[in-house]
C-alpha cells in the first residue's frame, strides 16, 4: 500500500531543546498505569531515554490535571524532559488544560494522543478515535498549536483507524499546523498490538513531514532499533513494552550508536530491577494481594526473556502472594548460578506476555 524505502529528510530535534546525544533520540512510550514517577525513576537509573512522556491527562468539561500524573513531571529527578500527554477532543477544554499544565515550568511540552486503540477510549472519539474525523483534527491541531509555544507541541498517532487511506491527509495536517515532532506507531487503531508493524508507513511519514518523526512499534532491542532507524529514516525510536522487559534498552541503543561496548545485563541484574519495581510502583494504600498482582503486571513482560520454556512466567502467575512471588524470582534469576547468566536480548520465540485488558477496555497493561 505504501511505497518502499524512500529518501528521508534529515530531521533535527534542535528546536525541542532536548539533551545533546551522539545517537538517535529515544523515548519511553506513555503507558497507562505504568509510566508513573516510580517507573520513570527506575528507567532513569538503568539508562534514561532522551525524554519521557506521561500517562495521558484526561480532558473533558470537569477535568483537572490528575495529581499523580503531574507528580511524574514536577518530582522527576532523571534530568530528562517530561512531556505532558493529553487525551480529549473538546477544543476549549483542551486549550484550558494546556494553559494549566504550562504554568508548571517542569512541563517540557504538550503531546496529543491520537493513537490509543482501546475501544473504551476510541468510542468517545478521543485517542485513536480522532483518526475517524479529519476536519475535527484539523481544528484541534490549530487550536493546540496556538496554545503551545514554539518547540513545545508534539503528536503521537497511529497510521489510521481501520486502514491507511487517510494517513497522507493527516500527515499534511502536521505541516499545516507546524507540529514540532510526530511519533508514528506503525499500526492502525483496529490493529491493536497484534498486527504487524507497517514500517513503510513510518518511512512515508519521515519522508513527508517537515518535523522530526519518531518510530514506534515492536522496537525490541538495540539491534532492532538500528534496523528500524535505517529502514524508516526516522529521527529516533519510542519504546514501551520492551522497556518494561528490558529497562537497559535505552542505554544499549546509546552505546551502540556511540561505538561503546553494549551493556549485557545478567539475570542477577534483572532480579535487582524487580526489587526496584517492588519498592516504587505501588500506591501506599494497596493491599498485599494487590501489590503482588501489580508486580506481576511488569513481570508478565520481563518473563518473556527469562527462559525459553516460559517456566518463570508459569510459576510467577501462580504465586499467591508477594513472598511466594519473590521466591519464584530468586529461584529462576539467582539460585543455581543463574545470577551470572546473560539476560536474553530479545523475547524467546513462543513465550509471550499474557493478553491483557488493554485490547478491550482501557490503555492499561
12, part of any domain: no
Q: Who wins on pLDDT, 2 or 212?
A: 212
pLDDT tens across 132-189, in order? 999 999 999 999 999 999 999 999 999 999 999 999 999 999 999 999 999 999 999 9
With cut-offs at 50, 70 and 90, classify the pLDDT of residue 282.
confident
pLDDT of residue 269: 98
**pLDDT for residue 359 is more than 70:** no
Tally of structural domains, the chain: 2
Judgement on whether residues 206 and 68 belong to the same structural domain of the protein: yes
364, part of any domain: no
Output DSSP code: residue 281: S
Last residue of some domain: 258, 290, 307? Answer: 258
**pLDDT for residue 8 is more than 50:** no
35 is in which domain, residue-wise? Answer: 21-258
pLDDT of residue 125: 92
With cut-offs at 50, 70 and 90, classify the pLDDT of residue 3.
very low
Span 70-82, average pLDDT: 97
Alpha carbon distance 63, 132 (integer Å): 24
Judgement on whether residues 166 and 85 belong to the same structural domain of the protein: yes
Query: Taking a C-beta distance cutoff of 8 angstroms, is the pair 179, 154 a contact?
Result: yes
**Distances in Å between the alpha carbon of 284 and those of 31, 35, 280, 320?**
20, 17, 10, 20
98 beta partners: none
- Phi, psi (rounded to 5 degrees) for 216: -135, 140
241, part of any domain: yes
For the chain, the residue count is: 365
pLDDT of residue 356: 43
pLDDT tens across 222-273, in order? 999 999 999 999 999 999 999 999 999 999 999 999 999 999 999 999 999 9
Judgement on whether residues 152 and 271 belong to the same structural domain of the protein: no
**pLDDT for residue 358 is more than 60:** no
Judgement on whether residues 150 and 70 belong to the same structural domain of the protein: yes
CATH number for 153: 3.20.20.70
* Termini Cα distance of the chain: 31
Judgement on whether residues 187 and 42 belong to the same structural domain of the protein: yes
Judgement on whether residues 239 and 195 belong to the same structural domain of the protein: yes
Alpha carbon distance 204, 200 (integer Å): 6
4, part of any domain: no
359, part of any domain: no
Last residue of some domain: 258, 281, 311? Answer: 258
Judgement on whether residues 289 and 174 belong to the same structural domain of the protein: no
Alpha carbon distance 293, 274 (integer Å): 13
Judgement on whether residues 188 and 279 belong to the same structural domain of the protein: no
C-alpha cell at 42: 527506575
Judgement on whether residues 173 and 291 belong to the same structural domain of the protein: no
Span 202-225, average pLDDT: 98
With cut-offs at 50, 70 and 90, classify the pLDDT of residue 331.
very high
10, part of any domain: no
User: Measured in whole angstroms, how far is the alpha carbon of residue 170 from the centre of its chain?
Assistant: 21
Query: Taking a C-beta distance cutoff of 8 angstroms, is the pair 341, 334 a contact?
Result: no
13, part of any domain: no
With cut-offs at 50, 70 and 90, classify the pLDDT of residue 216.
very high
Complete DSSP assignment for 321-365: SHHHHHHHHHHHHTGGGGGGSBPPSSPPTT--PPP-GGGTT-SB-
pLDDT of residue 194: 84
With cut-offs at 50, 70 and 90, classify the pLDDT of residue 363.
very low
Strand, coil or helix: 233: coil
| H or E element at residue 98 | helix 91-102
9, part of any domain: no
pLDDT tens across 27-64, in order? 999 999 999 999 999 999 999 999 999 999 999 999 99
**pLDDT for residue 117 is more than 90:** yes
pLDDT of residue 347: 97
Judgement on whether residues 171 and 231 belong to the same structural domain of the protein: yes
Which residue has 561496548 as its cell numbers? 261
* Cβ atoms < 10 Å from Cβ of 214: 30
Judgement on whether residues 28 and 168 belong to the same structural domain of the protein: yes
pLDDT of residue 17: 76
Judgement on whether residues 185 and 311 belong to the same structural domain of the protein: no
Share of the chain above pLDDT 70, in %: 93
Alpha carbon distance 241, 209 (integer Å): 27
Residues labelled as active-site residues: 116
Which residue has 486549550 as its cell numbers? 95
Strand, coil or helix: 252: helix
Span 105-126, average pLDDT: 95
Last residue of some domain: 258, 283, 308? Answer: 258
Amino acid at each position: 500500500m505504501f511505497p518502499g524505502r524512500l529518501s528521508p529528510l534529515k530531521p533535527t530535534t534542535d528546536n525541542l531543546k532536548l539533551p545533546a546525544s551522539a545517537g538517535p533520540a529515544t523515548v519511553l512510550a506513555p503507558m497507562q498505569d505504568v509510566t508513573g514517577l516510580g517507573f520513570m525513576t527506575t528507567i532513569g537509573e538503568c539508562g534514561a531515554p532522551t525524554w519521557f512522556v506521561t500517562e495521558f491527562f484526561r480532558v473533558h468539561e470537569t477535568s483537572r490535571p490528575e495529581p499523580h500524573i503531574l507528580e511524574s513531571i514536577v518530582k522527576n529527578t532523571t534530568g530528562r524532559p517530561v512531556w505532558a500527554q493529553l487525551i480529549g477532543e473538546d477544543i476549549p477544554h483542551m486549550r484550558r488544560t494546556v494553559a494549566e499544565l504550562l504554568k508548571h515550568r517542569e512541563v517540557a511540552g504538550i503531546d496529543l494522543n491520537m493513537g490509543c486503540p482501546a475501544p473504551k477510549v476510541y468510542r468517545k472519539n478521543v485517542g485513536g478515535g480522532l483518526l475517524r474525523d479529519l476536519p475535527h483534527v484539523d481544528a484541534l491541531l490549530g487550536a493546540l498549536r496556538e496554545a503551545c509555544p514554539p518547540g513545545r507541541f508534539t503528536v503521537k498517532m497511529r497510521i489510521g483507524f481501520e486502514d491507511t487511506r487517510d494517513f497522507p491527509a493527516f500527515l499534511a495536517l502536521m505541516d499545516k499546523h507546524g507540529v514540532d515532532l510526530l511519533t508514528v506507531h506503525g499500526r492502525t487503531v483496529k490493529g491493536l498490538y497484534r498486527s504487524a508493524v507497517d514500517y513503510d508507513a513510518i518511512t512515508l511519514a519521515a519522508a513527508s513531514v517537515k518535523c522530526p518523526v519518531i518510530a514506534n512499534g515492536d522496537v525490541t532491542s538495540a539491534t532492532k532499533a538500528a534496523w528500524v532507524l535505517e529502514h524508516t529514516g526516522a529521527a529516533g525510536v519510542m519504546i514501551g513494552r520492551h522497556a518494561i522487559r528490558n529497562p537497559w534498552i535505552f542505554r544499549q541503543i546509546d552505546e551502540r550508536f556511540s561505538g561503546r561496548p553494549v551493556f549485557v545485563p545478567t539475570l542477577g541484574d534483572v532480579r535487582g530491577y524487580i526489587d526496584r519495581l517492588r519498592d516504587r510502583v505501588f500506591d501506599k494504600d494497596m493491599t498485599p494481594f494487590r501489590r503482588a498482582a501489580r508486580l506481576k503486571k511488569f513481570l508478565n513482560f520481563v518473563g518473556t526473556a527469562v527462559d525459553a520454556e516460559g517456566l518463570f512466567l508459569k510459576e510467577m502467575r501462580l504465586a499467591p502472594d508477594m513472598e511466594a512471588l519473590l521466591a519464584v524470582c530468586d529461584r529462576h534469576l539467582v539460585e543455581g548460578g543463574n545470577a551470572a547468566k546473560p539476560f536474553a536480548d530479545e523475547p524467546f520465540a513462543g513465550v509471550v506476555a499474557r493478553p491483557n485488558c488493554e485490547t478491550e477496555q482501557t490503555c492499561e497493561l
